[in-house]
Amino acid sequence: TASSSREQVHCSICLDVFTNPVSIPCGHNFCQTCILGYWKTSPLYQCPMCKKSFHKRPDISVNTVLREIVFSELVRSIQKAQAELVMVIEEKQRQTEMRAESLIAELEQEISELKTRHTDLENVNRTDHIHFLKSFPALSATPSVKDWSETSVPTDTCVGMIRRSVSKLETTLSEMIDKLSANEIKKILKYSVDITLDPDTANPWLQLSQDRHQVRHLGAWQELPDHPDRFDTVVIVLGRDGFTSGRHYWEVQVGDKDDWYLGVAKSSVKRKGRISVSTAQGYWALAMKKGQGYRVSTSPPLVLSLDQKPKRVGVYVDYEEGQISFYDVRARIHIYTFEDAFMDRILPFFYLYCCDKASDTMAICPVQEKSLI
């Protein structure tokens, strides 16, 4: 039933749809933050549902089955709302068609009467003139016809209803996606790593900070030792340590800069001469191109439509799953995910084109929970 279905996907503490559902030993399920918050304010480690007490804080386990049920329930709710909307639209369509058919029938009746009057006049015209003069006054009288100038078949009501319903559905989905993205970012924080830049790979136009966490474009060439790993043409620097397995997460402050790339690259990418930053060449990147907006390095590039300008970007790598995801950390939203298969070592990479301000840098930031608030 609808009631039992609601109970199945709603937390009994916050009365909202489960967020990160977890199970406790007695078998009841709650949002992870709800049950932990409940225990913080309660003198006992107790189940809010069955009141079973525990000597110490019990272990909680992520309920993946329930999480799938919550998602399925969301899909079912959307499908139900869609079906109801279709029924209303079809009823409006039926009523409008009936109204239109009635008006057409009425109009056709008037046209038929006018044609009959015209035929009668033609026939009388062919008779003798005396008969014509006698019959003309009756036949020439203006027939009673309806003024159709203000008649229309209303469709605005139906169109407005569709727009409102679609807008409401979009808002609901957007809120759910934002909520899921925020929880997703919090979940991947435990995979944060300290990324440092490799000076042996830095293009001579780039200058690294002493702690190897910041890079800026000098606007001038500097003499650096020739190194086989150094990018000699394109303004790129790579991270010192790469990945051949596992999950990894880091954050980069891009600020208001409007010409940059960041992401990961194969350790075997070309270092000399001109380079195309694309997945075909071993780069998985999010980019901001001046005058062109945001894009990702697919082949061909995919232009993104972002509601706001991300100033701090989170990068998440799952080597085994072949996923590279980008997040707007401040807005707590998912931007884009690449899916590929990694066969060799991959490295964080940063591309910073010439900036107007000498102080304008791209910085690798410490990952902190409070950065999401």
What's residue 94's pLDDT? 83
Q: What is the pTM of this model?
A: 0.55
282-331 pLDDT, tens digit each:
999 999 988 788 999 998 889 998 888 899 999 999 999 899 999 998 88
What's residue 147's pLDDT? 62
Fold of 192-371: Jelly Rolls (2.60.120)
Which amino acid would we find at residue 49?
M
> What's the whole-number mean pLDDT along residues 210-235?
90
358 has pLDDT over 50: no
What's residue 3's pLDDT? 47
- Average pLDDT, rounded, for the chain: 80
- What is the 3-class SS of the chain, one letter each residue? CHHHHHHHHECCCCCCECCCEEECCCCCEEEHHHHHHHHHHCCCEECCCCCCEECCCCCCEECHHHHHHHHHHHHHHHHHHHHHHHHHHHHHHHHHHHHHHHHHHHHHHHHHHHHHHHHHHHHHHCCCHHHHHHHHHHHHCCCCCCCCCCCCCCCHHHHHHHHHHHHHHHHHHHHHHHHHHHHHHHHHHHHECCCCECCCCCCCCEEECCCCCEEEECCCCCCCCCCCCCCCCCCEEEECCCECCCEEEEEEECCCCCCEEEEEEECCCCCCCCCCCCHHHCEEEEEEECCCEEEECCCCCEEECCCCCCCEEEEEEECCCCEEEEEECCCCEEEEEEECCCCCCEEEEEEECCCCCCCCEEEEECCCHHHHC
124-149 pLDDT, tens digit each:
666 655 555 555 555 555 556 566 56
Q: Which of 202, 272, 268 is nearest to 235 (CA)?
A: 202
What's residue 76's pLDDT? 75
What's residue 227's pLDDT? 92
What are the residue ranges spanned by the domains of the chain? 10-62, 72-139+157-189, 192-371
90 has pLDDT over 90: no
122 has pLDDT over 90: no
The yes-or-no answer to whether 10-62 and 192-371 have a common fold is no
- For the ranges 4-8, 164-168, 357-361, 364-368, the one whose mean pLDDT is highest: 364-368
Q: Which of 264, 268, 259 is nearest to 193 (CA)?
A: 264
Q: Which residue has the higher pLDDT, 250 or 95?
A: 250
Q: Which of 317, 343, 315 is nearest to 327 (CA)?
A: 315
CATH of domain 10-62: 3.30.40.10
Q: Which residue has the higher pLDDT, 364 or 66?
A: 364
> What's the whole-number mean pLDDT along residues 225-230?
91
What's residue 372's pLDDT? 44
